[in-house]
Amino acid sequence: MKLSLEQLPVALGKSIAPVYIISGDEPLQLNEALDAVRKAAADRGFIDREVFYADGGFNWVRLVEACGSFSLFGEPRVLDLRLPGKPDKEGAAVLEGYAKRPPDDAVLIVSLPKLTATDQKAAWFQALEKKGLFIQVWPLSGPALMAWLDKRMVAKNMLADRSGLAILAARVEGNLLAAAQEIEKLHILYGATRISDDRMRKAVADSARYDVYDLAEAALQGQITRAHRVLLGLRGEGIANAVVLWALARDIRLLCKLSHLMENGESLDAAFARQKEKVWDKRKSSLANAAQRLTLAQAHRALLLCAKADRMIKGMESGDAWEALLDVCLSLGGTPVSGIVAV
């Protein structure tokens, strides 16, 4: 059964399921969900815990043997299975077998990165989900991030105005671990009180962590202020401008293909279906936003700006390559950019 992260505490308060699958790419929420399950299991007598790191060299027989030894020699315990991705063929078979005969005195916790809708149709996943609970952890942004920050502060008996929460959200965007640490620091500095905007600005460091995909997403969504902030963050972290350009150009080339098909009468869904490469849901949403906002000419304009940035990076044209990358983002936001030259 699927549960949201918010529903997990209520479910744990009622009973312990034989199996938990917890997936996602946001480490703080993922680890806190795992901690909550482990604590609830321990409170019900599952004191011992055996951890399995199922990397490329993992021997799945270890998990099979652990299951078989419980009823004869072991105490009730937690099987903590940590996967770096989807299980391989052998692992999938072992997990299917486990679901058919789960031990009465064991709780299996499977943690792994985000599972797509296709992943969730796999036999191993469906077999385990029928025996327990599945919780997908999602990154937070916008109102959801603001609500999370507010709840976190209230738990420390601190309050902040919405403007103060917005300052905190802007400083730690994309890094909930940093957000939790900053809230802890605020509590140490000021205690249980209302945190003014001025105190928030002075105390909270700029702990945002971005990757090049965050930049491409913001630019395609037309979120120019955020795109500029992400671009500055990437530059400050020492990310190579050539890598930043690669991420932008990759999506802009696909945007041009989509726009061309749409201008020739294809629907957006049909245009996506024509693409050879797999386009994941989050990226598809951003591309769809851009394809519906921008014309084919505007998409081509952004691609020309990518070419200009590429020449600057390679030293074939004078100018600041980072400013050229900002021009690419501005063009995706529909902002006119001067100085485009033919290639």
Supply the CATH number for residue 291's domain. Answer: 1.20.272.10
108 and 15 in a common domain: yes
In a domain, 341, yes or no: no
- Tell me the Ramachandran region of residue 330: left when phi exceeds 0, alpha when psi lies from -120 to 50, beta otherwise: alpha
Question: H or E element: which one contains 68?
Answer: helix 61-73
| Both tokens assigned to 3 | 């549960």
191 and 152 in a common domain: yes
Report which residue type is found at 74. Answer: G
DSSP 112: E
293 and 257 in a common domain: yes
Number of domains observed in the structure of the chain: 3
What is the predicted pLDDT for the residue at 328?
Answer: 95
167 and 109 in a common domain: no
Q: Which domain does 100 fall in, by range?
A: 2-137
Boundary (domain end) residue, out of 203, 231, 256: 203
Boundary (domain end) residue, out of 137, 157, 175: 137
C-alpha dist (Å) from residue 164 to 62, 145, 155, 209, 254: 50, 13, 17, 20, 39
DSSP 54-66: --TT--THHHHHH
Which residues lie below 8 Å from residue 3, measured CB to CB, with a gap of 6+? 11, 133, 134, 135
What is the predicted pLDDT for the residue at 221?
Answer: 92
272 and 187 in a common domain: no
113 and 10 in a common domain: yes
149 and 78 in a common domain: no
What is the predicted pLDDT for the residue at 214?
Answer: 87
Distance CA 42, CA 95 (A): 23
SS3 content of the chain, % helix, strand, coil (to 5): 60, 10, 30
What is the predicted pLDDT for the residue at 188?
Answer: 86
What is the predicted pLDDT for the residue at 69?
Answer: 63
192 and 221 in a common domain: no
Measure the CA dihedral 286/139/325/299, to 10°. 0
What is the predicted pLDDT for the residue at 71?
Answer: 47
In a domain, 121, yes or no: yes
Boundary (domain end) residue, out of 82, 106, 137: 137
276 and 316 in a common domain: yes
Residue with tokens 């996506």: 272
140-149 burial, b at 16+ Cβ within 10 Å, e below that, comes to beeeebbebb
216 and 187 in a common domain: no
C-alpha dist (Å) from residue 207 to 180, 258, 297: 11, 36, 37
Low-confidence ranges of the chain (pLDDT < 70): 69-74, 174, 206-209, 277-278, 280-282, 336-343
In a domain, 120, yes or no: yes
Answer yes or no: are the C-beta atoms of 128 and 23 closer than 8 Å: no
322 and 196 in a common domain: no
191 and 218 in a common domain: no
pTM over 0.85: no
In a domain, 192, yes or no: yes
